[in-house]
Chains A and B, each alone.
Chain A
Amino acid sequence: MRVLITGASGYFGKLLVHALRSDTGDKIDVIGVDVRETHTRGDDTMKFVSGDTRKKRIEDLFKTEGKIDVVIHLARDSSPDLSSDQSMMTNVYGTFHMLELAEKYGVKKFIFPSSSIVYGAHMDNPALIKEDHPLLGNRDVKTIRDRIEADLICQTYSPGADKMNIVILRTVPIWRTAGGGTLARYMKGELVPVFLGFDPMFQIIYDDEVIEAFRLATRIEDARGAYNIPGRIFMPLSKVIKHLGKKPLPLPEFLVHKKGQYRWSSQLRFDFNYLKYPFCVDGTKAKEELGYNPS
């Protein structure tokens, strides 16, 4: 099986490349693509190519590398100083472009990493959200808006829908072992501000669980459509914070953020309703169809 991974030099790119190469069973050849310089050297089961998913030249890859079975499109950019338009080009157009190429060159499966934030945090959210729930995340935040748009493009992309399986993995907020990511920017210090009087149920997922979900989505042939990917942690937000070795600090809302700008770090601008209302997901579909079971 030949797998093309975009964003292969990123945090999850590296982890996933490693996981797929060392996976037992049928051998997986990995082709990694990234705009950044790569420091890992390729060998016979691994090849690194420099490339940009937004550029037309990326098509050459499909012409020169032979038949590719699976595309895992991890390339995205959520740096806070990115302009709204640049963010859209990378995260939405990049996805659309790769989808088009994958379909054109007979790729069997396209895997896209989405997030449970696409559902949005609303006061009337169900206790556990299923995959067919409308994507009502806050479009005022560019990273959320682009996730939703890319997710919708993957859901509704139809030209090759009968030949190519499009898999959308909606992971809950990720806690990276090595640090970094939106969740870590929020839980920066020892004391983590939460809203006084609000303690919704919250889910987080660890690196190994995310990688396992991607591995299964790559391996299971019939994987198709959107899957919610929760982790084994499902508890109130305050307990999650304690679980991560920090202390929740209940504050009135205006001391936590001002119009979406976090008061405790300039690096975070987000929709803070995610601390107020639940947006927990139901992982039954991934359990039944992918055999993904985090507990």
Chain B
Amino acid sequence: MGDMPDFKIKDFMNGTVKEFIADRIRNSDVVFTDNGEYDEFGTEVEGAADFFTFLTFMYKKYFRVDLHGLGNLPVEGPGLLVSNHAPILPIDGMMIGTGILIEMEKPRLIRAIVNRSISDIPFFSTLMYRTGQVIGCDENVRRVFENGNLVLVFPTGAEGRPHSIFNKYHLDKFTLGFMEYALRHRTPIIPTCVTGSEEAAMTLVGIDLPLAGFKHLPLTPIFPWLGPLGLVPFPSKFDIYFGEPIHYYKDHAGDADNPEKVREIVDDLHDRIKSMLDKALGRES
């Protein structure tokens, strides 16, 4: 584990943690433009530090996240994290990003490929830009792969059926696009799984009622019954597992343009992540 000090609650209040985070962002792999304040995706030290300070609080004190297999992440150069995803708020993504930023020896800023509909959601869109997350369009994705960033994708995607607590940790079929990029740009894949995320927001049922950019209106035991308070996630215990990097590009360099082959590789990855997840949850595959 890195040099993350053991912060007390008061450190979050008096700016110590924010300073620590800002420092880590400045020393991370983010390349700022000439005037030094923003990178090409709109990452801003000040704005990102504010948000990551809050996330670090959630990470340390609320969800009490444990990282397993941090050594499997590349210290530098490209890497693609492929993870399972719980519905509604991308708390899992935020926790993965926070963990990597504060716990790695040399900090790295993760670039999660997010659904474009995020940019239609007030405040979330701004947070997404300031923390350097990336809208999933070809040009952007090509850029993060070319830059050799640490990229995070949730390939079950927005097309996956809405989860509920009755089918939690069900891993939908993966999309293909991310694998084509990984093969083309010779990027190692780090299979990742997150547990605890689905208990944080227990969706009973998702209603098809688009609101403020969200696709479904989730009904949880407390939302919408308690109003905005109902959006507060439960303090479930999070565990994040990073598997050993898989170098598909070594054996399948020329297969990026062969959709059938890509499907096979993606299905193989799907099975590996599924068994990681089953093992982490202690359930039989």
Contacts and interface: CB of A to CB of B under 8 A. Distances in A.
A125 interface: yes
Interface in B28-44: 33-35, 37-38, 40-42, 44
B120 A123 contact: yes
Interface stretch (A47-55, A71-79, A231-239): A231-239
Interface stretch (B137-145, B160-168, B234-242): B137-145
Contacts of B175: none
Interface string A175-209: 00000000000000000000111111100000000
Interface in B126-175: 126, 129-130, 134-140, 143
A130 interface: yes
B275 interface: no
B122 interface: yes
Contact of A235 (B37, B116, B135): B37
A127 B116 contact: no
A125 B40 contact: no
Contacts of B41: 127
Contacts of B117: 123
Contacts of B42: 127, 200-201, 236, 278
B220 interface: no
B116 A123 contact: yes
B122 A197 contact: yes
Interface residues on B, range: 20 to 34
Contact of B126 (A126, A129, A197, A235): A197
A199 B138 CA distance: 23
Interface residues of A, number: 23
Contacts of A199: 126, 129
Q: Classify the secondary structure of A's interface with B.
A: loop
B37 A200 contact: no
Contact of A124 (B44, B126, B137): B137
Contacts of A126: 135, 137-140, 143
A198 B35 CA distance: 23
B281 to A, nearest CB: 35
A201 to B, nearest CB: 4
Contacts of B119: 123-124, 200, 277
A198 B33 contact: no
Interface in B12-61: 33-35, 37-38, 40-42, 44
Interface in A223-261: 232, 234-236
A94 B66 CA distance: 66
A175 to B, nearest CB: 16
A232 B38 CA distance: 12
A128 interface: yes
A266 interface: no
Given A197-B125, A198-B122, A236-B44, A295 B34 contact: yes
B44 A295 contact: no
Given A196-B122, A197-B125, A232-B35, A123 B139 contact: no
Nearest to A195: B122
B15 to A, nearest CB: 22
A234 B129 CA distance: 13
Given A127-B134, A236-B44, A295 B35 contact: yes
Nearest to B39: A127
A48 to B, nearest CB: 40
A128 B117 CA distance: 18
A130 B139 contact: yes
A231 to B, nearest CB: 11
A123 B34 contact: no
Contacts of A197: 121-123, 125-126
A197 B135 CA distance: 17
Interface string A103-134: 00000000000000000000111111110010
A198 B130 CA distance: 11
Contacts of A198: 122, 125-126
22 contacts: A124-B135, A124-B136, A124-B137, A125-B135, A126-B140, A128-B143, A130-B139, A133-B139, A195-B122, A198-B122, A198-B125, A198-B126, A199-B129, A200-B42, A200-B129, A201-B38, A232-B35, A234-B38, A235-B37, A236-B126, A295-B33, A295-B35
Given A197-B121, A199-B129, 12 more contacts: A123-B116, A124-B116, A127-B42, A127-B134, A127-B143, A197-B122, A200-B129, A201-B42, A232-B35, A236-B44, A278-B42, A278-B129
Interface of B: 33-35, 37-38, 40-42, 44, 116-117, 119-123, 125-126, 129-130, 134-140, 143
